[in-house]
Structure 1
Amino acid sequence: MFSTTTVRILCTASIQENEIRLSKRLASQWKIKKDDSFTVFFGLTSVHVNITSIDEKENHLICHHTLLSRLKLPGEQLLRCSYLPSHQELILGPVIAVLTEIPDQTPFLGNISSFCEELAVLSEQSGCFLYVTSLSLWREEYISGYRYDKGAWIKDEMPFPSIVHNRIHSRKTEQGLIFRSWVQTLKQYGISHFNDRFLHKWEVYETLAQFPYLQPYIPRTFLFTKYDALEQALQEFNCVFLKPIYGSQGRNIFKVTKADQTFMLDYTTFQGDIHRTYASVKELFSTLKQYTAHRPYIVQQGLDLYTYMERPVDFRMLCHKTDNSWKVTSSVARVSSPHEFVSNVAMGGEMYKLEEVLYSGFEVKQVKHMKKLLVELAVETAKCISQSHDGLYGEFGMDLALDREGNPWLLEVNVKPSKNMPSSSSIRPSVRSILQYCCSAAQQPLRRN
């Protein structure tokens, strides 16, 4: 088993390059004798060292600056330290890499700048080593990346990581040859990564359809491939939504409302809104096919949603996996802007505290019960999706809603929820949960080639 503690890595020129001076406390804890040796790992970078002295009292590990350079460890650090006696391996870190697109313009990391800064600061405080990199900076022999130091991102050569947090935002990039080749490299070296990949809307619906006890909470959904799907949906429901299966941020969504044998089409994500009326499903279908010809869509049951200030509301709940269980780490109510039917912030929606929105329409006891149901639905959905797909998943953004009777519904699952939040002086709970998951997922000994 691992024995894990936090160690101060110090540098001196008074010892040999392949030697380490270990404090008495650590030597006693790990049952290491003066003349023992072990292999030190920092990410996948390793060096075999000898133990030459154990006369330090604090949790110190003292080594030559050349050894730090060989490990690709940038100077003195406070690091978690895990000792595996059966293999005589000392593992520093973990080393965590965030893989994303790195734009040329400022802010340095685009919409996830504040998120990465929070994660880097918390990593340093927690004895982890974190850097940000991209596919273009990843080579077979080495990795270039950026580490956060005293308020600035510094480019350097980095060790191969213990685990990678996949924050690639482009589905096209993730489906491309370069990304697939990168995944094979990770498999070759035994490096874990999460979230494994995007899951599109129809894929999520088909996954959750395997769990009968979730069906009462999932809007009826059809794959929009031909006329029959639209006709069937409008026979069953007076309102439906058409959503691109690869869509995000509430863009390119159609709303169809049936009344008195006519069909009203609303589409509010172009330059200028569309409001048209059709006398038949065939006429409506002909128009929709023009707009949806270049991308696959689903047709989803419309719901009579609970409203706040006469505007539709949904709830974004962030779910994270820690210690092999899922939990909701944060929640917010999203209220659509006036005359819009989507609540996404990117489309003008506004964020409110969940309680503020619910107390305006329900009694205190009802609100407590509804919050409990929403949390349970979010957590159970996260469990079902993560266990149904290969690869690691450690974070989901769940979009849920209540109808006017207070019944909970699952609207959508986001594999890489937005991090474009206002900067805060404190570190977000979601950031803490992601770091905790990284440490947990990297805890097992790596399978090394």
Structure 2
Amino acid sequence: MPGPYVDPFHGDADLPGKVDVVIIGGGIIGASTALELAERGVSVALCEKGGIGHEQSSRNWGWVRISRRDPREVALMAEALRIWSGLDERIGRPTGYTRAGIIFTCTDDKSYEEHERWGQNLEPYQIEHRMLSGNELNDLLPGSRMKVKGALYTPTDGRAEPQKAAPAIAEAARDKGAYVLTECAVRGIELAAGAVCGVVTERGSIACSQVVLAGGAWSNLFSGRFGIDLPQLKVMNTVLRTKPLEGGPDQAIWAEDFAIRKRRDGGYTVASGHENIVDIVPASFRYARDFLPSLRSEWRSLSFRLGGRFLDEARLSRNWEMDEASPFEYNRVLDPKPSSRISDGAFKALRKSFPVFEKAEIAQKWAGYIDVTPDAVPVISPVDAIPGFHIATGFSGHGFGIGPAAGRLMADIVTGRPPLVDPHHFRFSRFSDGSKIELISGF
């Protein structure tokens, strides 16, 4: 079954000879960075090996949330909420964004206390949130049969349409003067005196002084070709969508066995609330020590498997020449086969909790690869070893909602403006400067 239908985007026909900045990757992070730079009068070319938003940017749940974020991301996500609220008007196109609230259920006293304690992270930002009892939750969600201790409810959280957002933002960037090139893989960067001076694409070279790598799950492979060791692995998440359904909840809901989000067409996006698949690949052994703390705390939510993906990645060239086809040209879109076991289990649990979904029809299933770092916090940072080279990746399943603010922060770093928020937690050097790499469990 093919991936989700993404709003069509037609890339530019002509390759520019020279720009200030080249962005590698046409997901929501790359598109948002391009828009921010173009609005500032910076000449920019966005190069995407496939189509705009065709990988995880269109395959995620569509949540725009600050609730239950890693505390290190909260300040940036607070800015993202502000950007999303005016984004459609700013770009002149719909992203499907609406504030409908997000609910995280708590099964027992311990979970309730953890969520209540987490809410303290929002107090400096005056963002409305509150804890609900089980009875209050059932009052908020008529027809619910969930039997839980309570929930964390954040009314200011929202949702948007992943199949619309990245293409809409990329179109707006082009309106402001950016080149947006699809089916145009970047094979590598060119250096002069050790600093960036251009890129080589499959369609020719582009001179530039700065590059932003926003390549999602491909970022480790690309950066490794140039001696940059970015610790990154992939996690596969499976999603289904239903046909339009009346009478379902308007709020997005996370529960132990399912997570749902109402779609613009009246259907719902449904996924497991806790289970993902990790394919064992050669990089799994290379980064085993880096990810060990994460595995210790999150292993219950991960299903490990050894299959064809191991051989697929083992065959990938890691040292291709610039005048030959790169791995990015042989696989334009990562489109893994979804897990029916996981999606069907989530749908069954949903129907048990909300009988209205007994009438729901499944329209489609898909899967996508989430790019994760050892601490589940993104890299939004320059790379000191190569002046002019920057990385914006590793969003660990949280990239869609935070994307517009991540693009603004990356643009601040590239242009030397005062940063939107303190970028310290997102620095690339944390993986090599002796910092403690810590996963904050449960977020």
Specify if TM > 0.5.
Answer: no
Q: What TM-score do the two structures reach when normalised by structure 2?
A: 0.25
Higher helix share: 2
Larger Rg: 1
Q: What TM-score do the two structures reach when normalised by structure 1?
A: 0.25
Higher strand share: 1
Q: RCO (CA 8 Å, sep 6+): is it higher in 1 or 2? A: 2
